[in-house]
């Protein structure tokens, strides 16, 4: 059974219905341009490793020396992880950014969380996510794992080769 947790307002998160969370934030315009491409990509091409996005809005864009954009997006509300799931992700996080790109898990984690380990390996294989830790992973109603912080995909500038997957 999925348990839903408290939404930390300091991260710009609010519950707008039983199953929809809104995130509101600011980014410099270079990062925002990349995020806009990412969100539009995932709205057109839903991904099984990423939270579904329902709506995206630019609230205010400031040109000139400050160059910031205020925005918000609505996403599916997801459930909390167990302590064991968080521990398994912490094991992966310690190794995630290593050059070998090979994450090893203790047997008790492999036995207890095979779906989570498969999810982690897929996120690593894709190599797109740059803010991987247990605070950015949650579960949906089917107990499938999803990345929730879309800003973790930002790799600027937007025209970098590493962002080719966004422009597909």
- pLDDT, mean of residues 3-30: 88
> Is it the case that residue 94 has pLDDT exceeding 90?
no
pLDDT digits (tens, 9 = 90+) for 29-84: 889 999 999 999 999 999 999 999 999 999 999 877 778 999 999 999 999 999 99
Report the predicted TM-score, pTM, of the whole model to 2 decimal places.
0.90
Domain ranges of the chain: 9-79+158-167, 83-146
Q: What string of H, E and C letters represents the secondary structure of 42-94?
A: HHHCCCCCECCEEEEEEEEEECCCCCEEEEEEEEECCECCCHHHHHHHHHHHH
* Check whether domain 9-79+158-167 has CATH 3.30.200, yes or no: yes
> Is it the case that residue 119 has pLDDT exceeding 90?
yes
Using DSSP, state whether 1 is helix, strand or coil: coil
- pLDDT, mean of residues 111-136: 92
At 97, give phi and psi (nearest 5°).
-95, 10
């Amino acid at each position: 059974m999925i348990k839903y947790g408290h939404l930390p307002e300091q991260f710009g998160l609010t519950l707008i219905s039983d199953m929809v969370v809104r995130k509101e934030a600011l980014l410099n315009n270079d990062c925002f341009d990349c995020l806009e491409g990412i969100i539009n990509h995932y709205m057109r091409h839903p991904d099984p490793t990423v939270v579904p996005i329902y709506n995206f809005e630019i609230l205010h864009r400031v040109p000139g020396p400050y160059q910031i954009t205020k925005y918000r997006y609505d996403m599916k509300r997801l459930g909390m992880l167990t302590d064991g799931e968080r521990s398994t992700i912490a094991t992966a996080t310690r190794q995630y950014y290593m050059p070998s790109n090979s994450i090893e898990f203790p047997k008790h984690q492999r036995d207890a969380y095979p779906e989570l380990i498969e999810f982690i390996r897929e996120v690593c294989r894709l190599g797109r996510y740059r803010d991987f830790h247990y605070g950015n992973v949650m579960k949906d109603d089917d107990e499938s794992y999803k990345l929730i912080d879309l800003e973790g995909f930002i790799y600027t500038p937007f025209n970098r080769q590493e962002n080719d997957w966004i422009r597909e």
